[in-house]
Chain A
Amino acid sequence: MFSNTLFMLSAALTLGGAFAVVYSQNLMHACIYLLASLFGVAGLYACIGADFLAATQLVVYAGGVVILMLFAIMLTGGTGNKINRYGLEKVAAMGNKKTYFTAGFAAVVTSLIILKIIASVLRAQPSKELAANQVTVEKLGTLLATDHILAFEISSVMLLGALVGAAIISRPRKEKHD
């Protein structure tokens, strides 16, 4: 009963957010909608017992990635002045008819394919009772510390690479005097 409600709410939030990201013409708003969508995904995780993932989704996306994106939007001039000093469109258009047409085409093609792949699953709906959710954190921790220890360690190296690389790329440099 409540499970279904939670699922419905999360799904609605996810899909609504995602559609709004597509629909929105304002980058900042799109970012907020993305936050909503990711929040919904966290709810969906919670529905099938991935409680740790749900929390991770909250911490990393809501607290991290979205803030990072909001910052990046501000650093690239927000959504204000549309034209830069070269006369170029500074904050680029959020798309026009042509691009939407291309995107629609790509989406249709992709959806055909995906539907073909998942058709068998959709046709055969197992209606068994779902098992209760287990405690995942300890199991995840055990997996991370034993079976996936290499991935665990390497992810730290990857994060280090991302940190150093992004810091180098985005570090303010002195402008050349021309």
Chain B
Amino acid sequence: MDYTLSTVAPVVLLPFFAFVINAFIVKKFTKLAVAVSTGAIFVSFLYALRIFLDFLNVYSVGYNIHKTFTWFDLSTGSSIFKVNMGIYIDNMTSVMLLMVTGAATIIHIFSTWYMHDDPRFGRFFVYLSLFTSAMLGLVLSDNLLSVFIFWELMGFCSYSLIGFYYEKEGAGNASLKAFMTTRVGDVFFLLGILALWSVVGNVSFVDIYNAIGAGKFNNLYALGIPLATFAGFSIFMGTMGKSAQVPLQVWLPDAMWGPTPCSALIHAATMVAAGVYLSLRMYPLMELGHLLPFIAIIGAITAFGAATIALVQTDIKAVLAYSTISQLGYMVIGIGVGSYNASFMHLITHAVFKACLFLSAGSVIHSIHCQEMPQMGGLRKKLPYTFFAMLLCCFAIAGVPFFSGFVSKDRILGDALVMALAHPVYIPVALLGFAGAFLTAFYMFRMLFLTFFGEPRDHHIYEHAHHEHLGWNSNIPLLILSVFTLGLFYSGSFTGQGEVNLFGTKNEWFSTLIHRPDSNSLHHFAEYKSEEFGLVDTRDKVELPRAHFDESHGMSEKEAHHVHQIHKAGALASIFIAFMGIFLAYSMYVKRSIYPGWWTSTFSGWTRALKNKYYFDDLYVKKIIQGLLLPFNNLLAWFDMGIYDKYAVDGWEAVNRFAFNVSRWFDNNIIDSGMVDGTGASVNLMNAILRWIQSGKIQLYFVVLIVVLASYIWTIHI
């Protein structure tokens, strides 16, 4: 089909117009505003679906649509300063569009139930609309500058959403924290954009690829390090901020102060995905800058560290928040080990099951008005649909076969294993990755069991939890999302390892369509020419040869077989690990009351150790785990408090204290002993001058301004 502005723009503009309209009508017509927002995002979803189906129909790696227009043109003569804006849709973008609009639609619908008794019901939707449109704009952008614009817009929206309950002090602080922390990354991101601009003269993705392919970055240095490294690192810092990687992860757990649907949106579909998406887009730059090991290690630390923290959380949303960080770590590992396609797939699968998890958690919280897991328990009878959805999602995130998380995460882990065998730097990455996978399975099921299984621990809460009915806007969204946790939709095969192909190879659309722009094939972008809006699209003009993007490109048959073997081993290992985790959780929280005999007979060596837990209820169990993991936990807490609080806050205080001491000494010894009068007089004099200058009289300021400006102009040569 022929894409024009009018067929693509509605995807972004509909939510944005919804935002604009709702901003005016929200006070008087709350219901209408909600309907407008939801309707807009739904129509937007239909557009995205159409684009996606179109791309699936073309089914070509290189098919893309790139339309630009000149934003402004300040070129004079030979010096070209021209900024283009435009849209760039390739396979990745189309999948992202579908994911974002789909998840946002579900979340909108769910919010109509979750937020309906909130006094700021309508305003929530206003923010949601803006947030979604910003994310969609980011996804559609063809250059880093507009990515940055939407990036910041999203930053603002997340600030508003996290601080939605601004009466609560914690919410206000959390929103500030999120805003400030991401700002650190954004400054670097902007630096990276500028660095790229200085080389490429443009910041469109395609032009950057062209520049990389043409070797423009060779022998360029910034601050003594290669410019590609500098730019890549700066942009990755942006990712670290937005996608909550160590050490900028601190904001994300606090983001749960916002309403739960907004957490779903931030954690699943939009905000955190933006960072990973950016890094994926800039993958050739990262590769050129030799940043991949660094990225992988950052990801591994995040993945494992966050998982360990999640073990000891009692707040259901906190567990989910840390699991988000951990899963983001996996995506970053995927980038780091060159597993481009799997990393992106994990982004999508994670978006789906994490949205579902958050909505389920929201459903639980809304039902019992409590977030603490130790007070829950046995809720599966009261909330059967929620339980069902959450169970599927937990399977997915834990990496149980046939579920989406398995497909994507195990590809990442398999590639990590391959890299680890190839290069020792990656060994800790693989180890931490597998350990994190184990912990993930464990803590997710711990959460599930604590919430839904066992006996109700707080009967008061249990009694007051209303029985769930199959409401169209409360449970249907969960069930829809939970269906999409099946791996089938992403791989076309059940295991994702290419072993059981249900519908033939062609149906492995994900791994066929999404491919990293390889460094050695980047020069193909040079033939590319961007199109102005309104002209024909660039279908097939950038038809890159399939071979260049083949997974096995550059590998011999034998090597490919070797890699395949390792993948297989990794898959088996992770299946084992996942079941181990689930099993452990089960054994800790449910098992004894149900099959104690089976336990003792199978694992007789473990019986004594585990027996101790028989007489502990959940609180003690938690204490033990906390005791075992306390050192590590403390290490992470030290990151949070020791680094930020100590050096930023306390360090500054220490400096101040020191300065105070020095000045006191100065005061006592020098000033008081004989210089008081003289100093006093001089201070008075200075005071008089300053007072005269700082008179609040605008005209005097004006004169001073003139004089300063004059002296400046006088010194420059005209």
- Interface residues of chain A, those whose CB is within 8 Å of chain B, are 99, 102, 105-106, 109-110, 112-113, 116-117, 120
Main SS at interface, chain B: helix
A-B contact pairs, 23 of them (CB 8 A): A99-B699, A102-B703, A105-B703, A106-B702, A106-B703, A106-B706, A106-B707, A109-B706, A109-B707, A109-B710, A110-B706, A110-B710, A112-B710, A112-B714, A113-B709, A113-B710, A113-B713, A113-B714, A116-B713, A116-B714, A117-B713, A117-B718, A120-B718
5 further interface pairs, Cβ-Cβ under 8 Å (given A106-B702, A113-B714): A109-B706, A109-B710, A113-B709, A113-B713, A116-B713
A174 to B502, CA, bound (A): 78
Which residues of the partner chain B approach A120 to less than 8 Å between Cβ atoms?
A: 718
Which residues of the partner chain A approach B700 to less than 8 Å between Cβ atoms?
A: 102
* B718 contacts A116, C-beta separation under 8 Å: yes
**Residues of B in contact, count (CB < 8 Å):** 11
Which residues of the partner chain A approach B702 to less than 8 Å between Cβ atoms?
A: 106
Within 8 A of A (CB), among B645-704: 699-700, 702-703
Within 8 A of A (CB), among B233-292: none
- Identity of the chain B residue whose Cβ is nearest the Cβ of A150 in the assembled complex: B72
A110 to B712, CA, bound (A): 12
Which residues of the partner chain B approach A110 to less than 8 Å between Cβ atoms?
A: 706, 710
A82 to B281, CA, bound (A): 70
Main SS at interface, chain A: helix
Which residues of the partner chain B approach A117 to less than 8 Å between Cβ atoms?
A: 713, 718
A106 to B706, CA, bound (A): 7
Q: Count A-B pairs with CB separation below 8 Å.
A: 26
CB distance from A88 to the nearest CB of B (A): 16
Which residues of the partner chain B approach A106 to less than 8 Å between Cβ atoms?
A: 702-703, 706-707
Which residues of the partner chain A approach B710 to less than 8 Å between Cβ atoms?
A: 109-110, 112-113
Within 8 A of A (CB), among B608-633: none
Identify which of B702, B707, B710, B718 gathers the most chain A CB atoms within 10 Å of its CB: B710
Which residues of the partner chain A approach B699 to less than 8 Å between Cβ atoms?
A: 99, 102
Which residues of the partner chain B approach A112 to less than 8 Å between Cβ atoms?
A: 710, 714
A110 to B709, CA, bound (A): 9
A34 to B175, CA, bound (A): 52
Which residues of the partner chain A approach B709 to less than 8 Å between Cβ atoms?
A: 113
CB distance from B81 to the nearest CB of A (A): 16
A102 to B700, CA, bound (A): 9
Which residues of the partner chain B approach A116 to less than 8 Å between Cβ atoms?
A: 713-714, 718
Which residues of the partner chain A approach B703 to less than 8 Å between Cβ atoms?
A: 102, 105-106
A116 to B714, CA, bound (A): 8
A113 to B713, CA, bound (A): 7
6 smallest beta-carbon distances between A and B, as pairs: A113-B710, A106-B703, A109-B710, A106-B706, A113-B713, A110-B706
A112 to B707, CA, bound (A): 11
A110 to B700, CA, bound (A): 15
- Identity of the chain A residue whose Cβ is nearest the Cβ of B718 in the assembled complex: A117
A116 to B711, CA, bound (A): 12
CB distance from B264 to the nearest CB of A (A): 35
A109 to B713, CA, bound (A): 11
A17 to B692, CA, bound (A): 34
A106 to B698, CA, bound (A): 14
Identify which of A99, A109, A116 gathers the most chain B CB atoms within 10 Å of its CB: A109
CB distance from B133 to the nearest CB of A (A): 20
Which residues of the partner chain A approach B718 to less than 8 Å between Cβ atoms?
A: 116-117, 120
Identify which of A99, A105, A113 gathers the most chain B CB atoms within 10 Å of its CB: A113
- Identity of the chain A residue whose Cβ is nearest the Cβ of B700 in the assembled complex: A102
Within 8 A of A (CB), among B277-310: none
CB distance from A106 to the nearest CB of B (A): 5
A99 to B699, CA, bound (A): 9
- Identity of the chain A residue whose Cβ is nearest the Cβ of B704 in the assembled complex: A106
Which residues of the partner chain B approach A99 to less than 8 Å between Cβ atoms?
A: 699
A120 to B703, CA, bound (A): 26
CB distance from A112 to the nearest CB of B (A): 7
- Identity of the chain A residue whose Cβ is nearest the Cβ of B709 in the assembled complex: A113
- Identity of the chain A residue whose Cβ is nearest the Cβ of B712 in the assembled complex: A113
CB distance from B309 to the nearest CB of A (A): 47
Which residues of the partner chain A approach B707 to less than 8 Å between Cβ atoms?
A: 106, 109
CB distance from A120 to the nearest CB of B (A): 7
Which residues of the partner chain B approach A109 to less than 8 Å between Cβ atoms?
A: 706-707, 710
CB distance from B509 to the nearest CB of A (A): 41
A116 to B214, CA, bound (A): 48
Which residues of the partner chain B approach A105 to less than 8 Å between Cβ atoms?
A: 703
Within 8 A of A (CB), among B7-65: none
CB distance from B82 to the nearest CB of A (A): 14
